[in-house]
């Protein structure tokens, strides 16, 4: 099934829209395996190694490219269904980040969704998947991307419960109750909600204590609006405006009602992605060998113009690590959680490679 998606993506030249390039496939003992271009490191590793929130300029660059990828998939009628930091990989070790979406092992055609199947990993799973709203759409990918954007913004998972009940309770705590029609349309909703004597939906298993994310700057996060108090560049008013724009984008990406959730095209048109603020590290003369402003802009599938990131001077992400003026310290609990997530990610990757027979090769000139 995965190979059939790669065949469709190859025919549509998906690599132009920030999706991993497939060079072909080969037969092996249990089927066919794709031969993919060689990429660098995944976003999960970047977040793990830095263990800090990302700069707005880095978040913007990644979000713009992933919105282009989702727009492309939407117009092909493909739902990725497994968008997570492990499946977003950098092309090289340079900043601004150039990233690509990988792994179509869980992908499906929009018209093929006819039952309440459980897809996506829990921390990035959309409410309509938990509730069993059928049929779900590519809007579940937008929810996952919103969770990733929040993790880049916070330096930590937004939702991290140990069970489905706890995950749904955290979603409700941070984002509020879903609209009544979303609950009523879900075939699994009564597992999580009950109607009280006043005909109001309430959680069956609310959190025993408030789920609070302690941020490195000393702030505590309970809702998306709390994020507006976080400042990395204390004396930069432009950064403050863009931070608020970023949070407003997060709100519409994490809309409980999938029919009202923002679309990839609307993300590309959002003010946050149109902002042109550059961090101090980018305020240097443009290198004529890396300045892409004179290159022809490529059209999106819908005809929208896809522009390159605003900072065209590229620097190594390891040579120039991100530094923050924060006073908080990492808790031992968070360190253990990060280590646990890293080991799960590592062994999951080894298992996937050995079971799927995926071969990765160096990119070759087209």
114 falls within a domain: yes
Q: How many domains does one find in the chain? A: 1
211 falls within a domain: yes
Tell me, what's the pLDDT at 223?
76
31 falls within a domain: yes
366 falls within a domain: no
208 falls within a domain: yes
Could you tell me which of 209, 282, 231 has the C-alpha nearest to residue 61? 282
**Any idea what the CATH number is for the domain that residue 326 is in?**
1.10.510.10
299 falls within a domain: yes
pLDDT at 79 over 90: yes
pLDDT at 180 over 50: yes
Contacts of 348 (CB under 8 A, 6+ apart): 86
275 falls within a domain: yes
Domain of residue 170, residue span? 2-361
**Sign for the pseudo-dihedral over CA of 96, 67, 76, 143:** positive
Of 314 and 224, the one with more pLDDT = 224
Q: CA–CA separation, 149 vs 73, rounded Å?
A: 19
Residue 58 among the catalytic residues: no
The per-residue pLDDT for range 346-358, each reduced to its tens digit, is: 444 444 444 444 5
Of 275 and 125, the one with more pLDDT = 125
Strands 78-79 and 298-299: unpaired
The per-residue pLDDT for range 185-207, each reduced to its tens digit, is: 999 999 999 998 899 999 998 87
Please give the C-alpha separations between residue 10 and each of 99, 190, 345, in angstroms, as whole numbers: 18, 42, 28
Q: Which of 82, 226, 257, 291 is catalytic?
A: 82
């Amino acid at each position: 099934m995965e190979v059939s998606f790669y065949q469709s993506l190859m025919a549509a030249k998906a690599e132009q829209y920030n999706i991993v390039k497939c060079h072909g496939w080969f037969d092996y003992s249990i089927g066919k395996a794709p031969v993919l271009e060689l990429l660098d490191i995944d976003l999960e590793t970047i977040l793990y190694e830095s263990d800090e929130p990302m700069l707005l300029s880095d978040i913007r660059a990644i979000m713009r490219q992933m919105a282009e990828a989702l727009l492309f998939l939407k117009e092909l009628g493909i739902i990725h269904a497994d968008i997570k930091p492990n499946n977003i990989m950098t092309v090289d070790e340079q900043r601004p980040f150039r990233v690509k979406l990988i792994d179509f092992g869980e992908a499906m055609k929009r018209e093929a969704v006819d039952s309440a199947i459980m897809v996506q990993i829990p921390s990035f799973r959309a409410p309509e998947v938990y509730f069993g709203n059928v049929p779900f759409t590519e809007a579940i990918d937008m929810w996952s991307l919103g969770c990733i954007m929040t993790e880049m913004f916070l330096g930590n998972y937004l939702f991290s419960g140990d069970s489905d009940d706890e995950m749904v309770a955290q979603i409700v705590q941070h984002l509020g109750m879903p609209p009544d029609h979303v609950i009523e349309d879900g075939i699994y909703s009564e597992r999580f909600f009950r109607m009280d004597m006043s005909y109001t939906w309430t959680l069956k298993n609310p959190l025993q204590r408030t789920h609070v994310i302690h941020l490195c700057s000393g702030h505590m996060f309970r809702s998306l609006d709390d994020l507006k108090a976080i400042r990395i560049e204390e004396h930069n008013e432009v950064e403050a405006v863009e931070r608020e724009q970023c949070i407003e984008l997060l709100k519409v990406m994490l809309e409980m009602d999938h029919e009202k959730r923002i679309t990839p095209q609307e993300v590309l048109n959002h003010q946050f992605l149109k902002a042109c603020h550059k961090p101090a590290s980018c305020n240097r003369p443009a290198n004529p060998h890396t300045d892409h402003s004179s290159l022809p802009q490529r059209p999106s599938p819908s005809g929208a113009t896809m522009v390159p990131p605003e900072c065209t001077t590229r620097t190594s992400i390891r040579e120039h690590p991100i530094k923050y003026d924060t006073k908080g310290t990492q808790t031992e609990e968070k360190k253990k959680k990060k280590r646990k997530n890293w080991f799960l990610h590592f062994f999951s990757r080894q298992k996937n490679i050995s079971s799927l027979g995926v071969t990765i090769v160096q990119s070759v000139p087209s």
